A and B are shown apart, each in its own frame.
Chain A
Amino acid sequence: MLVSKLARQLMAPVAAIALALGGAFPTAWADNDEIVLGGSIPMTGPFAFAGLQFDRGLRDYVEWINRQGGIEGRTLRYVGEDTGYQQDQSVAVFRRITSRENVNFYFGDSTAFQQTINRELDRRDILMTGASFASELNDPERYPLQFLLGPDYSEQVGILLSYIAEESPGARVAFIHSDTEFGRDPIAPGRSKAEELGLTVAATIVTPPGAADISSAALELRRARPDYAIFHGYVLAPIPDFIQRARQMGMNTRFMGTYYTMDQGIINEMGEAADGFMGVMPYRYYYDETGPAPIMDAIRELHGDYQTTTYTQGWLTGVLITEIARETLRAGKPFTGSNLRETLDSLSDIDTGGIFGQPVNFRGNSIPLGRIYRADVSQGQMVPVSDWIELE
């Protein structure tokens, strides 16, 4: 009786120690014929809406490419674990995966993590990409082993501003952004870009992230009377609230958003109010069937229903690392991060299988290409209103 009671009390710590010791030794090393993509993926926490889709996209792509014979005969393997969108857990996952696997590529989940792990990437010679489009990371000097999966946030705003300058020269523009690292990212460069393009910055409005009370911010917007208002640093809330209030106040402002705002959710969640909402999207939507897009066809074949743009982002990661790995293998170079980066810099007019509407080129660490789409509620879809815009 007593012994069993003690056993019960000791069970948990003993099990913990046993597990700890078990984990203290490397378990498996990757086969030389494998290419390993590790990932710190936010499957829980505030960014899970995207993290779960990255994970699905990456897994589906890996399965698909391996069915096509892999990359130059090598199998691609993906190992992703949940981080809860917390920096220390993201680093823990990185350490956990790299201590068990011979990782070649890595997918990071946040700007903070991608900054923190940078030194370790250099040491381990791993090439990384990820969920962040932070302008800070678009610096090959400081982040030589990282690349972004599209235009950085400043470039996204730049694409929007170029469109505005083209459509209505001299227009009044307002920036509405959340008071976060994410929200502040493109604001200062956006303001100078606007001036450079001859636009007037009518207001810069800061709000707390998420669904906060925006009454005073809405009044500030009304006073500024901008022709266009660009939201950045939000996913959805408080954008619907802003738009509804603006409509009630009889404003004709046209509202715009950046990548993470521009998924189908904006139509599904906002309904009628979403009509006319515009924004920049670097990837083709699931239902956009204009022009040849073999990768998008593969996605459509795999899933009969709508797939989010973050799911496509997972596929794009796969497409780009496949391209980089293939060229490196063909050149007969050792498979190190620095060589992979060299290959990336040497690539031009990369074919992304139609995810981007035209062949892409890296400038620094990013691909400054995107297209303006508009929410058409009657069709229930985002429809393109511009051609693909590439920033110089």
Chain B
Amino acid sequence: MRIGSPKESYIADEALFRTRTQWVWLWLLLAVLIAYPFVANLYWLFLVCLISINIISATGLNILTGYTGQVSLGQAAFMGVGAYTVAWLDNNTGSPFFINLLAGAGMATLVGLIAGLPSLRVKGLYLAIATIGASFILQFIFINWESVTRGTRGINIEPPSVLGVTLDNPDTFYWLVMPIMVVMVLLAANLFRTRIGRAFIAIRDRDISASVLGINLPFYKLMSFGIASFYAGIAGGLYAYFFGAINPESFPLLMSIFFLAAIIVGGMGTILGSILGAIFMTLTPEILRYGVDILSPYIDNAPQILSPLRTAVFGALIVGFLLFEPHGLAEIWRRVRRFFHLWPFRT
């Protein structure tokens, strides 16, 4: 049982990690993340790289939708902007990947700010539809601006290299994507210790009250769109480098829905929710493959019969979460933690 965690200063009260237990777990997690590439095979490294990219994008969307209350279905298209910017720079200027990534994020931010303009007048479902509109316009640009995007043929991107090491495989790419993911998540967590983050939450909880409190609604709403798109831009740029080829169909509307589902399943308005949601949404279909593997010896033609079932189980799990755990995986996590806070005593 954990007792007595007094806070003697405001800084201590606002700290992200407040107890020694939390720090121990955090260091342990970092150690696991560092050790992981040495024990995992390329398949699991691939999945963790993909999860990291998805965590970055989901975190961005959670800032916008979970914390600021602005529903967006444009996240995948903003990722596309980041990815195409990176691809174009990579093919035409040969500038270093880090500059490309930042330029991609910057471009996505700009586009996100423009796409966020409707949020000044509409919210909720109306805003969701407006962002779908933005997403279709961007899709149209990806297809038709052939001189930049190569249209439907898609663009190939050379893998990035750092200090002479080419990051062209999940075992090397991991060392790029994982630190970026950790930094992006920490930045997001810290955002909500600042005035800006609190303004976002105030807007989500009641925009009129926030306005009365002196929060500049247009400014903060657009800023939220900008930040979410910045995250999408980074994720999109990493996606382009990771997969080595993109085309307009790499960033469909369904992908935006995927991210929205990830933050709902994970827990809206919590950073942990974005992480758990992205892990759940990426990993569950893959883990269900093991179910197919296990049943293969007993069922003739198992992949063909069980694959549709795998999709159905995945869908049912999402519905189950919405019904039985509307606050998401983050809430389950919190309950487990609370249990151990008082263990071995009952609440």
Given contacts A23-B43, A55-B303, A92-B50, contact A116 B339 (CB under 8 A): no
The minimal Cβ–Cβ distance linking A354 to chain B, given in whole angstroms, is 27
A sample of 28 cross-chain residue pairs with beta-carbon separation below 8 angstroms, ordered by A number, consists of A6-B339, A9-B332, A19-B287, A23-B43, A23-B44, A44-B308, A44-B310, A48-B308, A55-B303, A81-B303, A82-B303, A89-B285, A91-B46, A92-B43, A95-B170, A96-B43, A96-B289, A98-B42, A98-B43, A100-B43, A112-B245, A112-B249, A115-B245, A115-B247, A119-B159, A119-B244, A120-B169, A142-B156
The minimal Cβ–Cβ distance linking A120 to chain B, given in whole angstroms, is 8
With an 8 A cutoff between CB atoms, is A87 at the interface?
A: yes
The minimal Cβ–Cβ distance linking B276 to chain A, given in whole angstroms, is 10
Which 3 A-B residue pairings sit nearest by Cβ, starting from the closest? A82-B307, A181-B152, A95-B43
**Which residue numbers of A lie inside 8 Å of B, CB to CB?**
2, 6, 9-10, 16, 19-20, 22-26, 41, 43-44, 48, 52, 55-56, 59, 80-82, 84, 87-89, 91-92, 95-96, 98-100, 111-112, 115-116, 118-120, 123, 136, 142, 179-181, 184-185
With an 8 A cutoff between CB atoms, is B341 at the interface?
A: no
Q: Determine the distance from Cα of A231 to Cα of B153 in the docked complex, in whole angstroms.
A: 19
Report which residue of B152, B292, B308, B336 has the largest number of chain A beta carbons within 10 angstroms of its beta carbon. B152
With an 8 A cutoff between CB atoms, is B23 at the interface?
A: no
Among B44, B143, B156, B301, the residue within 8 A (CB) of A24 is B44
Report which residue of B41, B151, B244, B346 has the largest number of chain A beta carbons within 10 angstroms of its beta carbon. B41
The minimal Cβ–Cβ distance linking A379 to chain B, given in whole angstroms, is 31
Cβ of A82 and Cβ of B250 under 8 Å apart? Answer: no
Measured between beta carbons, the chain B residues less than 8 angstroms from A2 are 346
**Closest residue of chain A to B285, judged by CB?**
A89
The minimal Cβ–Cβ distance linking B43 to chain A, given in whole angstroms, is 4
Cβ of B336 and Cβ of A10 under 8 Å apart? Answer: yes
With an 8 A cutoff between CB atoms, is B248 at the interface?
A: yes
**Closest residue of chain A to B48, judged by CB?**
A20
Type the 1/0 row for B22-52, where 1 means its CB is closer than 8 Å to any CB of A. Answer: 0000000000000000011111101100100
Cβ of A59 and Cβ of B301 under 8 Å apart? Answer: yes
Measured between beta carbons, the chain A residues less than 8 angstroms from B154 are 111-112, 115, 136, 181
With an 8 A cutoff between CB atoms, is B219 at the interface?
A: no
Q: Determine the distance from Cα of A185 to Cα of B50 in the docked complex, in whole angstroms.
A: 29
B contact face: mostly helix, strand, loop, or mixed: helix
Cβ of B244 and Cβ of A136 under 8 Å apart? Answer: no
With an 8 A cutoff between CB atoms, is B243 at the interface?
A: yes
Given contacts A84-B311, A112-B250, A116-B244, contact A16 B40 (CB under 8 A): no
**Closest residue of chain A to B340, judged by CB?**
A6
Type the 1/0 row for B276-312, where 1 means its CB is closer than 8 Å to any CB of A. Answer: 0000000101110110100000000101100110110
Report which residue of B292, B308, B310 has the largest number of chain A beta carbons within 10 angstroms of its beta carbon. B308
Measured between beta carbons, the chain B residues less than 8 angstroms from A87 are 243, 249-250
Type the 1/0 row for B135-159, where 1 means its CB is closer than 8 Å to any CB of A. Answer: 0000000010000000111101001
Q: Determine the distance from Cα of A221 to Cα of B34 in the docked complex, in whole angstroms.
A: 61
With an 8 A cutoff between CB atoms, is B207 at the interface?
A: no
The minimal Cβ–Cβ distance linking A128 to chain B, given in whole angstroms, is 14
Cβ of A181 and Cβ of B248 under 8 Å apart? Answer: yes
With an 8 A cutoff between CB atoms, is B206 at the interface?
A: no
Cβ of A16 and Cβ of B245 under 8 Å apart? Answer: no
**Closest residue of chain A to B44, judged by CB?**
A24
Measured between beta carbons, the chain A residues less than 8 angstroms from B310 are 44, 82
Q: Determine the distance from Cα of A16 to Cα of B291 in the docked complex, in whole angstroms.
A: 11
Cβ of B169 and Cβ of A123 under 8 Å apart? Answer: yes
Measured between beta carbons, the chain B residues less than 8 angstroms from A19 are 287, 290
Cβ of A24 and Cβ of B152 under 8 Å apart? Answer: no
Q: Determine the distance from Cα of A386 to Cα of B44 in the docked complex, in whole angstroms.
A: 51
Cβ of A119 and Cβ of B168 under 8 Å apart? Answer: yes
Q: Determine the distance from Cα of A100 to Cα of B44 in the docked complex, in whole angstroms.
A: 12
Cβ of A115 and Cβ of B332 under 8 Å apart? Answer: no
Measured between beta carbons, the chain A residues less than 8 angstroms from B151 are 184
Given contacts A181-B152, A181-B249, contact A92 B303 (CB under 8 A): no
The minimal Cβ–Cβ distance linking B131 to chain A, given in whole angstroms, is 20
The minimal Cβ–Cβ distance linking A208 to chain B, given in whole angstroms, is 11
With an 8 A cutoff between CB atoms, is B193 at the interface?
A: no
The minimal Cβ–Cβ distance linking A67 to chain B, given in whole angstroms, is 17
Q: Determine the distance from Cα of A118 to Cα of B159 in the docked complex, in whole angstroms.
A: 13
The minimal Cβ–Cβ distance linking B70 to chain A, given in whole angstroms, is 27
Q: Determine the distance from Cα of A142 to Cα of B41 in the docked complex, in whole angstroms.
A: 28
6 additional contacts, CB 8 Å, given A9-B336, A92-B47, A100-B43? A44-B311, A82-B307, A96-B289, A116-B245, A118-B156, A142-B156
Cβ of A44 and Cβ of B307 under 8 Å apart? Answer: yes
The minimal Cβ–Cβ distance linking A365 to chain B, given in whole angstroms, is 15
Cβ of B153 and Cβ of A136 under 8 Å apart? Answer: yes
Q: Determine the distance from Cα of A84 to Cα of B307 in the docked complex, in whole angstroms.
A: 9
